[in-house]
């Protein structure tokens, strides 16, 4: 798995040239030995000189053959040492990253192991996330003041082609440009190596390593090690991404299974009870007392409310956003709300500058969904206005207001089980890194506003939005 062949086209050309020279020298020496042998056999006057020349040629040939053997042995030994060193580095780093439990730990470990094994000055990893962003993910050896500032850049066709067409980038026209794009120091870019991360048909990102001097005698050997390490990291990232998607799909399937079970069991039972109570009410109404009829109607109303709540729970378990996006999911929710409640709803959107990951969109949808449920159940409203806004700085706001009965805004000292829906909405707002503002007075309607900031400077985990670019 870790066998390495360090021969490059340059090495092969130099080796071929050395072989040609050695063969030429040996041919000359052997020719000289043949001529001196002939001279020795056919001379009588200069026999001592012929013996001396013949002996010298034999000695030179022997010494030259010994020299070649020594050089080849020494070269082979050096290559074996370099190969063992490279295999040790590959084995140590690959074994370490394969033992990591999640992607974040994997990337941090890879940077640390690269820094220690190769004695690098710094190592940084940039990965491609949703909507073709190249985001800084992890590093070692870089000033914390720099790493604490999230950085990402929009991928251009030029950069995509550069990452696609190169296995390693060093000492060519792309290096300085890459340093500028990744906001790195360009003063010593001759010491930097960029390793594009490829997995099958996808470009995953890039690793930058700054190192001087290189830990191998031959720079081509060092590049080969970096390429192999990049391949191992690409495999690990792709596996982690697939595992993450698999876990997400399993959760979605479990939620759908729960929703289906609720629909096929409890929902059907409640529907049957509603029908039986309604029949009982119609049967007893002509002959029963007012109190009895009123009690049956209360039971019927309670069953209706329980059935409605159950259907909302089933809808909540089923993931509504999928690939359609937040606004489309909200429009579908409001369409159903209008049909069931008869309340007029106005939706206003200025959401074009939003670039939210799906998990954040899901929290926003749930907040809107809970607000609409509360309006239908408790507000007695005639009109509802919903507004989505996002500006160029990433300031997001979601406003839900109605002209209903209103209520007294709950205090933080209230019982934990009271106003549970509002508590969950606030928790979702905190998860988004924002705030939920509630303004309401009896008979004055209700105004609920979610505000948060999300842009390229936001502190959100980019590993939740990993993507890739097809080659």
pLDDT at 385: 94
pLDDT at 164: 85
Give the strands of the sheet with 446-453, arranged side by side.
344-350, 383-390, 395-402, 446-453, 435-440
For the chain, the average pLDDT equals 79
45-69 mean pLDDT:
84
Residue 9: pLDDT above 70? Answer: no
Highest-confidence range of 60-64, 151-155, 409-413, by mean pLDDT? Answer: 60-64
Cis preceding linkage at 213, omega within 30: yes
pLDDT at 133: 82
Residue 268: pLDDT above 50? Answer: yes
Residue keyed to tokens 């697939």: 242
3-class state of residue 19 by DSSP: helix
pLDDT at 186: 64
Answer with the residue of higher pLDDT: 304 or 12.
304
Question: CA 325, 327, 332 angle in degrees (round to 5)?
Answer: 95
What span, in angstroms and rounded, lies between the C-alpha atoms of 291 and 276? Answer: 19
Using an 8 Å Cβ cutoff, are 156 and 185 in contact?
no
CA nearest to 125, candidates 241, 211, 205: 205
pLDDT interval class at 449 (50, 70, 90):
very high
User: Max alpha carbon distance in the chain (Å)?
Assistant: 155
Using an 8 Å Cβ cutoff, are 193 and 137 in contact?
no
Enumerate residues 6+ apart whose C-beta is below 8 A from 221.
6, 82, 86
Residue 116: pLDDT above 50? Answer: yes
Among 19-28, 313-322, 369-378, where is mean pLDDT lowest? 313-322
CA nearest to 226, candidates 195, 188, 192: 195
Report whether CATH 3.30.565.10 matches the domain 324-464: yes
3-class state of residue 374 by DSSP: helix
Using an 8 Å Cβ cutoff, are 453 and 393 in contact?
yes
Enumerate residues 6+ apart whose C-beta is below 8 A from 104.
138, 461, 463
Answer with the residue of higher pLDDT: 69 or 265.
69
3-class state of residue 381 by DSSP: coil
Token pair of 323, please?
């690939």
Superfamily of domain 102-239: GAF domain (3.30.450.40)
Neighbours of 221 (CB within 10 A): 22
Residue 289: pLDDT above 80? Answer: no
Give bridge partners of residue 124 from the DSSP assignment: 139, 208
Using an 8 Å Cβ cutoff, are 306 and 271 in contact?
no
Highest-confidence range of 90-99, 238-247, 250-259, 398-407, by mean pLDDT? Answer: 398-407
pLDDT at 383: 92
Using an 8 Å Cβ cutoff, are 53 and 29 in contact?
no
All structural domains of the chain with their residue ranges: 1-99, 102-239, 324-464
CA nearest to 114, candidates 134, 136, 137, 138: 138
What span, in angstroms and rounded, lies between the C-alpha atoms of 259 and 366? Answer: 16
161-173 mean pLDDT:
80
Residue 165: pLDDT above 80? Answer: yes
CA nearest to 221, candidates 424, 8, 9: 8
Alpha carbon 124 to its chain's center? 15
Reported as a single tens digit per residue, the pLDDT across 173-232 is 677 677 777 767 666 667 788 899 988 878 888 898 988 788 777 778 888 888 888 888
Residue 245: pLDDT above 60? Answer: yes
What span, in angstroms and rounded, lies between the C-alpha atoms of 444 and 311? Answer: 30
Residue keyed to tokens 């990337």: 107
Token pair of 169, please?
């980038």
pLDDT at 417: 46
pLDDT at 448: 92
Reported as a single tens digit per residue, the pLDDT across 301-346 is 777 777 776 776 676 666 566 556 788 888 988 988 888 888 999 9
142-156 mean pLDDT:
71
Return the percentage of the chain with pLDDT > 90, whole number.
8
pLDDT at 461: 65
pLDDT at 298: 75
What span, in angstroms and rounded, lies between the C-alpha atoms of 161 and 206? Answer: 13
Using an 8 Å Cβ cutoff, are 362 and 323 in contact?
no
pLDDT at 389: 92
Residue 4: pLDDT above 60? Answer: no
Neighbours of 213 (CB within 10 A): 8
135-144 mean pLDDT:
81
What span, in angstroms and rounded, lies between the C-alpha atoms of 468 and 435? Answer: 32
Token pair of 139, please?
């590093």
Confidence (pTM): 0.59
Reported as a single tens digit per residue, the pLDDT across 382-439 is 899 999 999 888 889 999 999 988 877 665 545 444 566 788 889 889 988 899 999 8
What span, in angstroms and rounded, lies between the C-alpha atoms of 355 and 390? Answer: 10
Residue 290: pLDDT above 80? Answer: no
Using an 8 Å Cβ cutoff, are 317 and 362 in contact?
no
Reported as a single tens digit per residue, the pLDDT across 71-105 is 888 877 777 777 777 777 878 888 888 777 778 88
Return the percentage of the chain with pLDDT > 70, whole number.
82
What span, in angstroms and rounded, lies between the C-alpha atoms of 199 and 361? Answer: 29
Q: Where are the beta strands (DSSP E) in 58-201?
A: 122-129, 133-140, 152-154, 192-199
Alpha helices (H) in 99-213, listed in sequence order: 103-118, 144-147, 157-165, 173-181
What span, in angstroms and rounded, lies between the C-alpha atoms of 344 and 337? Answer: 9
pLDDT at 360: 83
Enumerate residues 6+ apart whose C-beta is below 8 A from 310.
262, 266, 267, 270
């Amino acid at each position: 798995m870790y066998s390495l062949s360090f021969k490059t086209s340059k090495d092969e050309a130099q080796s071929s040239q050395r072989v040609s020279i050695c063969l030429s020298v040996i041919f000359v020496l052997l020719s000289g030995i043949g001529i001196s042998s002939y001279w020795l056999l056919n001379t009588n006057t200069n026999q001592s000189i012929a013996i001396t020349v013949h002996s010298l040629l034999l000695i030179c040939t022997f010494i030259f053959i010994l020299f070649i053997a020594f050089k080849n042995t020494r070269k082979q030994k050096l290559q074996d040492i370099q190969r063992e060193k490279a295999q040790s580095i590959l084995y140590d780093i690959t074994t370490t990253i394969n033992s990591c439990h999640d992607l974040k730990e994997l990337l941090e470990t890879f940077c640390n192991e690269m820094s220690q094994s190769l004695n690098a000055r710094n190592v940084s990893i940039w990965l491609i996330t949703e909507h073709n962003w190249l985001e800084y993910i992890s590093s070692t050896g870089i000033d914390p003041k720099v790493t604490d500032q999230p950085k990402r850049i929009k991928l251009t066709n030029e950069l995509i082609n550069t990452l696609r067409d190169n296995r390693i980038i060093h000492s060519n026209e792309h290096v300085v440009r890459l340093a500028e794009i990744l906001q790195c120091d360009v003063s010593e870019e001759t010491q930097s190596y960029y390793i594009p991360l490829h997995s099958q048909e996808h470009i995953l990102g890039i690793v930058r390593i700054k190192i001087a001097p290189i830990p191998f005698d031959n720079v081509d050997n060092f590049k080969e090690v970096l390429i192999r390490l990049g391949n191992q990291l690409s495999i690990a990232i792709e596996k982690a991404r697939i595992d993450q998607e698999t876990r997400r799909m399993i959760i979605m399937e479990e939620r759908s299974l729960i929703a289906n079970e609720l629909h096929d069991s409890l929902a059907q039972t409640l529907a049957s009870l509603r029908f039986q109570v309604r029949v009982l009410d119609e049967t007893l109404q002509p002959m029963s007392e007012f109190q009895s009829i009123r009690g049956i109607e209360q039971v019927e109303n309670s069953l209706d409310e329980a059935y409605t709540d159950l259907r909302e729970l089933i809808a909540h378990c089923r993931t509504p956003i999928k690939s359609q996006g937040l606004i489309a999911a909200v429009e579908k929710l409001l369409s159903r709300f209008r049909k069931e409640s008869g309340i007029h709803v106005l939706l206003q959107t200025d959401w074009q500058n939003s670039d939210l990951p799906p998990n954040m969109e899901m929290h926003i949808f749930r907040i809107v969904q809970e607000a609409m449920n509360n309006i239908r159940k408790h507000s007695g409203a005639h009109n509802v206005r919903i507004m989505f806004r996002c500006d160029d700085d990433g300031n997001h706001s979601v406003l839900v207001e109605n002209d209903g009965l209103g209520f007294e805004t709950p205090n933080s000292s209230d019982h934990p089980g009271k106003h549970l829906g509002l508590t969950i909405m606030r928790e979702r707002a905190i998860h988004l890194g924002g705030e939920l503002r509630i303004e309401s007075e009896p008979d004055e309607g209700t105004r609920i506003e979610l505000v948060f900031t999300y842009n390229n400077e936001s502190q959100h985990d980019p590993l939740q939005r990993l993507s890739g670019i097809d080659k």
